[in-house]
Structure 1
Amino acid sequence: MRSPVWSKLKVLFGALLVTLFTVSLMIFPAEGVKAAVAGLRVFWEVVLPSLLPFFVLSEILLGMGVVHFLGVLLEPLMRPLFNVPGIGAFALSMGLAAGYPMDAVITGKFRRSGMCTRVEGERLLSFTNTADPLFIFGAVAVGMFGRPDLGAVMAIAHYVSSFSVGVAFKFYKKSPASEEQTREVFDRGMLRRAVRALFKARRDDGRPIGRLFGDAVKESITTLLMIGGFITLFAVLVKMMDVFRVMGAITPLLGGFLRLCGLDPDLAGAVFNGVLEIDLGTMVASTAAAPVLDKVMIASWIIAWSGLSVHCQVASVIHDTDIGMGPYVAARFLHGVFAAFYTWILMGPLAPVLAPLHRAVAATRWNPIDRLVLSGQQMLAVLGILLLASLAVYISKRYALVWVKK
């Protein structure tokens, strides 16, 4: 139990930080306005058009019972692999297609509707919080590094490390599944159970189609405006910290830590900025005077960590649930470590193997206009692959159970 003194110190520290932030804006209003405009531009031109359709569709799919239908079909894969319900695959695929914080929005909805337990929600957040591929390939590899071939390395490292975190968190507060639960997952009539789940979910929701669509748009816009507020706030915060040269006092310590890890200390500025905001951190990493391998490893860590700005967005969309932020933050750090390690492997021992993939990616043109179409295709492709894998697991287990009974 936390002491009253510690609670009071936290309140005082928070009040002091907010006061200093407010005073800094009063002293440097021009810099604050410019940073706010830049943050709003990112929200209006990138975040809003890329996330709004997926937010609305996720609401409608939940209300129509489609997610419950998919959850039953995907249970044979998601339960043994990540120890989460089959609906977790929906959060995984939507998060991969739309990027941060789509997965947190969906996981919060799962928990509010009782579709997952608190621990299952925390496990889901640990590995479904991923950047969308177009951000890695287009914004980072092409836009920042000017090296389209690096996109494949960072994307593979990012998603493999995410799955690694999911497998590791499978054992987080693990409780053994009962024989009844295991038998139900691999019982006969999986399709019939999925259809029943769809009708039950639609009946429990009960909203007319018109109201369902209206609520979906309204709730999506509200959530997106909150996300836009955090993006703008952190853009101003990072600018104020730069104005007051806070980074200059901290980067020597970060540089020493990077040197101990065998990385170039000149990347300390990228780490500092990346801890706060993902775009700024990856941009500083791409322009640092350091070896390419070190820069890409740090960029991979930053993308996986995702920045305190995204963390605050996640906290805001799950604030009315009992899902804790502690496991999420720990998973983000572990995700970053895995991503940096896999990047080192892919650019070292496995570099010759990936050479054909590098050439194919380098020849691709990442047109921002096609962002929504490509994201939708990625979501459908991921769901298709997961469904096929789940079906294969289900069939193999069914044959195994039948063979044991004989």
Structure 2
Amino acid sequence: MALVVGIVRSPEEAFRASLGGLEIWWKTVFPGLLPPLMLAELLAASGLLHGIAALGSPLFRRLFRLPAAAGWVAAFGWTAGLPAGARETARLRERGLVRGREAESLLLLSHMPNPFLVIVVVGSGFLQAPAYGWAIAAGLWISGIATGMLWPRLSGNESNTTEAAGEPPIDGDVSHQPSGSALRRAYRAMQEARLADARPFGKQTADAVTSAVATLFAIGGLMMMSAVLLRIVQTALPGTDAWLTIPSLYEMHLGAYASGRSALFESAPAKAAALIAAALAWSGLSGLLQARAAWSGSRFPWPRFIAGRLLHAALALVATYPLAIAAERGWFAPLTPVWRGFAGPLAATEPAAGPLPSGWALLPGTTLAAVACLGIFVLLALLAALISPRRRGGDKRPK
């Protein structure tokens, strides 16, 4: 009701704020995240993430006290970004492969922002400093691993409870089998996952586009609603900067955008980068609602999930600050040319201060990204052909 009253009282401000959120989404978030989301879906369909999870399953069980089947969910969540981790965690929970506290720990571990969002959109687009994007991404990954290690021990999660019950593997995860080398087990997991998918590469690509666009439209809608809410809060607090602390609580994209244009980033960029990392780890109320929407079935563990996100945010703040100082000194300089200029310069100081230069218009950066995506598509097609279903010995064909 308060939001409705605010829109009725200031319709012009609400419209401008909504348009500003749309511009940020269309000209930075959409072009920056569409290719990575598509590639994440194709990597999952090709079985590559299953192979990676099979390789790391012994270390995964030892560090995070989760069954081997959970490794695939963590790999997919870290690659595709939220809410993919919550969706796959719910799927494992429905199949009985994770239960109780294990599902909560896996949900917390796999709820991560897309790495391309951090490096391309936040680093190159919002901050105009790709080095800070790499520092924030590294801080998020380090703190995510630390949170995943601490949370099961703090919550009393027992190790390998579901595997002890003799549950079957998911989607060809054969990393629990003792026979064969690690690489052979990883290859077998990739092949089984590819067989279980059974879609041709063209169908996989079309489904990846559909899924990525649907996810981005949901993000865009949340950004527009959050922008309207934040503008109303800003109108209620005129002449102050208190509203700058609020965007990160509601929506992580708008929070990163506002923090990158605050006075703090101009005076102390390392501290601002650490705060952005904490905001991305928290993921905002919109990120929490996305995870809840993807969590089908029984009651969502709201108190423990919020507590885990706050723990991750605190650890991200601590882990990112020294990395951001290192970025100031040029330690990440060898990594920045690849992403420089991809998202486009954002010269506006406010979302509603006029049109933003589009990331689509920067031909060199987008051309590089398009060529890279095309190369990955070709490699995935070759991989799909390599591990395609083979005929058994009983199938005799004329020579």
Band the TM-score falls in, shorter-chain normalisation: 0.5 to 0.7
- Contact 2:274–2:316 (8 Å) recurs in 1: yes
- Contact 2:32–2:121 (8 Å) recurs in 1: no
Does residue 243 of structure 1 match 2:235? yes
- Contact 1:121–1:323 (8 Å) recurs in 2: no
The one-character-per-residue Cα deviations of 1:283-330 (angstroms, maximum 9, x if unpaired) are: 333322553443233222222222212222222222445552333222
The one-character-per-residue Cα deviations of 1:193-233 (angstroms, maximum 9, x if unpaired) are: 98489659956x88999988877766665555444332322
- Contact 1:69–1:194 (8 Å) recurs in 2: yes
3-state DSSP of counterpart to 1:357:
coil
Closer, same or farther in 2 for the Cα pair 1:197/1:135, shift >3 Å?
closer
Aligned to 2:149: 167
- Contact 1:296–1:343 (8 Å) recurs in 2: yes
Does residue 150 of structure 1 match 2:132? yes
Residue segments in structure 2 that go unaligned for 5+ positions in a row:
167-174, 344-365, 377-399
The one-character-per-residue Cα deviations of 1:175-194 (angstroms, maximum 9, x if unpaired) are: 24469849983622474698
What's the offset of the Cα at 1:157? 1.6
**Distance (whole Å) between structure 1 residues aligned to residue 248 and residue 64 of structure 2:** 28
Q: Say which of 113, 129, 135 aligns to 1:131.
A: 113
**Distance (whole Å) between structure 1 residues aligned to residue 193 and residue 229 of structure 2:** 47
Amino acid at match of 1:288: A
**TM-score, structure 1 length as denominator?**
0.65
What's the offset of the Cα at 1:167? 0.8
What's the offset of the Cα at 1:164? 0.7
3-state DSSP of counterpart to 2:66:
coil
Q: Say which of 359, 362, 367 aligns to 2:342.
A: 367
Alignment of 1:110-125 (within 5 A): 110-125=92-107
Does residue 281 of structure 1 match 2:281? no
**Distance (whole Å) between structure 2 residues aligned to residue 155 and residue 101 of structure 1:** 18
Closer, same or farther in 2 for the Cα pair 1:58/1:296, shift >3 Å?
closer
Aligned to 2:176: 185
**TM-score, structure 2 length as denominator?**
0.66
CA RMSD, 1 decimal: 4.3
- Contact 1:96–1:133 (8 Å) recurs in 2: yes
- Contact 1:141–1:150 (8 Å) recurs in 2: yes
The one-character-per-residue Cα deviations of 1:79-129 (angstroms, maximum 9, x if unpaired) are: 112122334444444444443333333333433444433433321222333
Does residue 26 of structure 1 match 2:8? yes
Closer, same or farther in 2 for the Cα pair 1:160/1:210, shift >3 Å?
closer
3-state DSSP of counterpart to 2:275:
helix
**Distance (whole Å) between structure 2 residues aligned to residue 134 and residue 199 of structure 1:** 28
Amino acid at match of 1:38: G
Q: Percent identity?
A: 25
More helix by share: 1
What's the offset of the Cα at 1:146? 4.1
Closer, same or farther in 2 for the Cα pair 1:279/1:72, shift >3 Å?
closer
Aligned to 1:325: 302
Alignment of 1:50-129 (within 5 A): 71-129=53-111
Closer, same or farther in 2 for the Cα pair 1:199/1:234, shift >3 Å?
same
Closer, same or farther in 2 for the Cα pair 1:161/1:346, shift >3 Å?
same
**Distance (whole Å) between structure 1 residues aligned to residue 15 and residue 324 of structure 2:** 41
**Distance (whole Å) between structure 2 residues aligned to residue 362 and residue 210 of structure 1:** 33
Matched positions, count: 338
The one-character-per-residue Cα deviations of 1:5-34 (angstroms, maximum 9, x if unpaired) are: xxxxxxxxxxxxxx2212222222222223
Aligned to 1:300: 277
Amino acid at match of 1:239: R
What's the offset of the Cα at 1:372? 7.2
What's the offset of the Cα at 1:332? 1.7
The one-character-per-residue Cα deviations of 1:43-94 (angstroms, maximum 9, x if unpaired) are: 4445555556666676677778776666544422221121223344444444
- Contact 1:51–1:102 (8 Å) recurs in 2: no
Amino acid at match of 1:243: T
**Distance (whole Å) between structure 2 residues aligned to residue 216 and residue 343 of structure 1:** 32
- Contact 2:230–2:246 (8 Å) recurs in 1: no
